Structure 1
Amino acid sequence: MSKDKNEWGSNMSFILAMIGSAVGLGNIWRYPYVLYSNGGGAFYIPYIVAILIMGIPFLILEYGVGYNFKSSFSKALTKISSKWEYLGWLLPVAVFMIMIYYSAILGWDGIYIFMSFFKGWGADPNAYFTSTLLHASDSYTGLASFVPLIAVSMIVGWVIIWFISHRDLEKGLGRVSKVLVPALFIIMVIIVGFSLTLPGASVGLAELFHPNWSLLTDFGIWMAAFGQIVFSLSLGMSIAFTYASYTKDDADLVTNTISIALANSLFENFAALGVFSILGYMSLQSGIPVADIVTQGTGLVFIVYPTVFNVLGQWAYVLGPLFFFTVYLAGLTSILSTIEPLSFSIQNKFGLTRKRTMTILIIVGAICSMIYATSYGSNVLGYVDTFINQIALLLGVVLECIIFAWVFKAEKLIDFMNARSKTIKLGKWWLVIVKYILPIFITVVWIGGIIDVVNSATFDQLVFTIIIAAILLIATLIFTLLPAKSSDWNETEERV
């Protein structure tokens, strides 16, 4: 068995690492668009409701069970019932697949950090991103066309990830989180502060916050709010569970949950201010309405922002590098968390050291990620992202919620958690939420995601979705069936 000390050096290390996991690319390029397209100011009503009845309660549940078992996700589910070991591997493997494609986005952004010092994307950022950088092809034959620049940038990212992750938990991830997460917030404050001074900023903010109260009766806005919280707080991804299993015995997990949810919410709403201030400036300069400019995902980061920097003047040479460095930090803090669940599970079952496990996983991940360094890579990335986030993970969240709340019996955690809580106390209200409300709401969001994929998917996407699903299911089956090498795989000391 591994003798590594998988424990946070302090409660602050845990909080900052969890904030770093939650605060990621989705806060910068997804949330502002979701807020804008779902009623603006009116969206805050379902958003706050989603945080209160899903985000915080579910995180408390994950933290509580993780802290109780003080083991990996797969080991804990095996302890609850051996028939659930498959799910115990399914979620960590799915999250590792997220890490693999996140490395491609990190690689793209690394290139843009250097490009931003001299606006290397030229006069047409769209053409640069799609043609010059990605060499994007809509045909799967593009898989045979390799893009060396992207591959090199991705490998640099993998080396950084290995350098941090292979060390003992506190010496690596713990220390880095104490630097990266505060730096991420400070730089975002600078960017937003400058953005608010731009001519036209008020135009963008007016568009963002203009409330469309009629949408509150639309089920779609509520599904968008709950979906945003699932993705934003990394609910049910086994990350929160794993991080909680690393905490010290006196951790106040309820108070920590509130702190993490609040920090994540503040960051993504603060980021929205910067995004729409800049879009307002762009609208004023170009005469194009904000509604025709606003987008999400890679289009916002790698096309819209460079277009703005092209007309921003000398300030672009300061704001540009700051922005892309912020995106890199956000991606890095998130990607570091996505390897932990699978790594800890492997350490627990096969008795490998943390250093060896991380090294093997990062080599495997780096090799697999090279599919995204092809001309068809951006298409594959979209297919994998859609399948993992809208189908695989949400199903896992539903099952995890049911297992933790019903099979494990969430009520066992109440006295245990309340004894350490300095803020709110858990009671029947929490049990009602995690046993009844959460499974229903997340199931509805999951069904909505499936319908959306089926209705919008192309033939190529459906084919790749089947392939991706097969890879996920087979990899999970292999981990489940392989015999345990650790003598205490079936031995877990519970705290409640």
Structure 2
Amino acid sequence: MADKNEWGSNLSFILAMIGSAVGLGNIWRYPYVLYSNGGGAFYIPYIVAIILMGIPFLILEYGVGYDFKSSFPKAIRKIHSNWEFLGWLLPVAVFMIMIYYSAILGWDGIYMILSFTKGWGANPDAFFATTLLQSSESISGLFHFIPLIAVAMLAGWVIIWFISHRDLEEGLGKVSKVLVPALFVIMVVIVGISLTLPGASIGLAELFNPDWSLLGHFEIWMAAFGQIVFSLSLGMSIAFTYASYTGEDADLITNTISIALANSLFENFAALGVFSILGYMSLQSGTAVADLVTQGTGLVFVVYPTVFNVLGQWAYVLGPLFFLTVYLAGLTSILSTIEPLSFSIQNKFGHSRSKTMTILIIFGAVVSMIYATSYGGSVLGYVDTFINQIALLLGIILECIIFAWIFNAEKLIGFLNARSKTIKLGKWWLVIVKFILPIFIAVVWIGGMIDVINNSTSDQLIFTVIVAAILLISTVIFTVLPAKSPDWDDVEERL
């Protein structure tokens, strides 16, 4: 039977997109961003960012993806043949994210098992950096392999392959219907327990204490728009690809609003749990919440285990639940990051979904072993900074220009409005996608470039150049290789 790239229902599409949006960033990035950017005051730029950028850009991606019903590079080539390069740049960059996400997934898998016995010991900081990662600041650490991490990562790759190589609805569609609701249910349980902990109110008071004076600072608005870019996976060609799998009667505007609301609900709910637990730790240790707050791996693999160490019997419930939540969030996100490149390869070279997924996953698993070395944590940080602050933001700017101007987003309005049961698009939407979005994201991109240049070590600059070269060379190869699919140039717009 031929591989099918089509959702079995609108529910599959919505849940898969929510799964893509709800990821590690909601749990370990958003609570810190909310806290460090004015607490309750942050909600004003946050809501503005969702309305002005998150929803309008997703509608644009969905609309064009639905219109072409093809892979991202095939559609870009149809819009303007000279831009096919960009059509491959974003899917390749997103696949590179998938490769290093597999390392974080592996770390969390190890902690999920350790959480049943608090196996990280009395000093979680030392355990994570020294015992588990065996971190080295020397590039020679690339030659020090860590088998435990490698095995944990490979287990994740096997799970990803088991789901992804099947027909879309049989694999990703069915799994999303289980994982995404489970993710929300487990988070509700975690937050419910967290809110009952002594000192929870201390953490929540710190989190929501509004600093209205920050609203006059440009940085808080940058933080809000940046959070929405990464939280909703804007411009990563994932939304475009998922929309190309949808049925004829999809209400894309209503779907967009549902996905944005679900993502926002999850990350704000996660923030309640994070700060309730930090408040408990503050009460127990006498340390101010401000001194406990961190983001990224430090929050998940150091602060949380430290809390679980002093939590008593509840830790044996809350610990496994928490690390399971992180694992599921990582899994739902990572499953979406392979789709754009896989579908693009299927489109251009005529391979089946099963064969393409298998090859990509084997390749990704082999390359990911660089993160199973003592220098892997440093490399992960370098690659993450380059992809998210430089490559993807540049891609979003160019995507805005191509979709809104060259393709002419205005012709999407009629068919999107005809299917919408909620809001209707108008000139206001065109102003946002043609002017406001590309200008603002360009400002964020310039800020990210300056930050990388000013704060990078010599090692980071070297790896940034290497990663950029790999990304560009890979993109060129996919662009210039001759198509083997007979209908590569036969893209017909349906509007």
Return the offset for 1:454: 1.2
Structure 1 unaligned regions, length at least 5 = none
In the TM superposition, what are the counterparts of 1:4-403 in structure 2 within 5 Å? 4-403=3-402
**CA deviation vs aligned residue, 1:30-88 (integer Å, no higher than 9, x gap):** 00000000000000000000000000000000000000000000100011111110000
Match of 1:464 in 2: 463
Measure the CA separation in 1 of the matches of 2:275 and 2:154: 33
CA deviation string 1:470-494 (max 9, x = no partner): 0000000000010000000000121
Deviations 1:8-29 (A, max 9, x none): 0000000000000000000000
1:443 has 2:445 as partner: no
Secondary structure, aligned partner of 1:419: helix
Q: Which amino acid in the other structure matches residue 137 of structure 1?
A: S
Partner of 2:417: 418
Question: 1:323 is aligned with what amino acid?
Answer: F
Counterpart Cα distance in 2 of 1:464 and 1:20: 31
- Structure 1 residue identity aligned to 2:452: V
* Pair 1:348–1:3, CA change in 2 (3 A): farther
5+ residue gaps in structure 2? none
Q: Give the whole-Å Cα distance in 2 for the aligned partners of 1:7 and 1:79.
A: 21
1:451 is displaced (CA, Å) by: 1.1
Structure 2 Cα separation of the partners of residues 54 and 33 of structure 1: 21
Deviation at 1:187, TM superposition (A): 0.1
1:3 Cα deviation (Å)? 4.4
CA distance in 2 between partners of 1:389 and 1:266 (Å): 23
Output one character per residue of 1:415-464: Cα deviation in whole Å (capped at 9) or x when no partner. Answer: 01001000000000000000010011111111111111111111110010
Supply the AA of the counterpart residue of 2:265: L
**For residues 152 and 82 of structure 2, what CA distance do their matches in structure 1 show?**
42
- AA aligned to 2:159 is I
Normalising to structure 2: TM-score of the pair?
1.00
Q: What are the Cα deviations for residues 289-311 of structure 1, in whole angstroms up to 9, with x where unaligned?
A: 00000000000000000000000
- Structure 1 vs Structure 2: percent identity of aligned residues? 83
**Where do 4+ consecutive residues of structure 1 move more than 3 Å?**
none
In 1: Cα distance, 2:474 partner to 2:280 partner: 48
Note the alpha carbon deviations across 1:341-388, whole angstroms, 9 max, x for none: 000000000000000000000000000000000000000000000000
Distance 2:423 2:476 in 1: 40
Amino acid in structure 2 at the alignment position of 1:175: K
Aligned partner letter, 2:190: I
Distance 2:7 2:429 in 1: 27
Q: Compare 304-313 and 3-12 and name the one that shifted more.
A: 3-12
Q: Counterparts of 2:369 and 2:3 in 1: how far apart (Å)?
A: 31
Q: Which amino acid aligns with 1:429?
A: W
Does structure 1 conserve the Cα–Cα contact (< 8 Å) formed by 2:3 and 2:166? no
Q: Which amino acid aligns with 1:277?
A: S
CA distance in 2, matches of 1:420, 1:448: 39
The residue identity in structure 2 corresponding to 1:285 is Q
For the residues of structure 2 that align with 1:3 and 1:475, how far apart are their CA atoms? 28
CA distance, structure 2, for counterparts of residue 291 and residue 315 of structure 1: 24
Structure-1 separation of matches of 2:453 and 2:315: 41
Question: How far apart in 1 are the matches of 2:149 and 2:189?
Answer: 29
- Give the AA of the match of 2:354: K
In 2, the alpha carbon distance for the partners of 1:52 and 1:495 equals 28
Residue 492 (structure 2) aligns with: 493
Shift in Å at residue 131 of structure 1?
A: 0.5
Structure 1 distance, partners of 2:401, 2:432, is 12
Deviation for aligned residue 1:4? 2.5
- How many residues align structurally? 495
Q: Deviation digits for residues 209-245 of structure 1, max 9, x if unmatched? A: 0001110010000000000000000000000000000
Q: How far apart, in 1, do the equivalents of 2:348 and 2:2 lie?
A: 13
In the alignment, the residues of structure 2 paired with residue 301 and residue 155 of structure 1 have an alpha-carbon distance, to the nearest angstrom, of: 21
Alpha-carbon deviations, 1:256-307, whole Å to 9, x = none?
A: 0000000000000000000000000000000000000000000000000000
Q: What one-letter code is carried by the residue in structure 2 that aligns with 1:251? A: A
Distance 2:43 2:440 in 1: 18
What CA deviation, in whole Å up to 9, does each residue of 1:101-141 have, x standing for no partner? 00000000000000000000000000000000000001100
Aligned residue for 1:431, secondary structure, equals helix
Distance 2:447 2:223 in 1: 10
Q: Aligned partner of 2:93: which letter?
A: A
- Alpha-carbon distance in structure 2 between the residues aligned to 1:207 and 1:406: 44
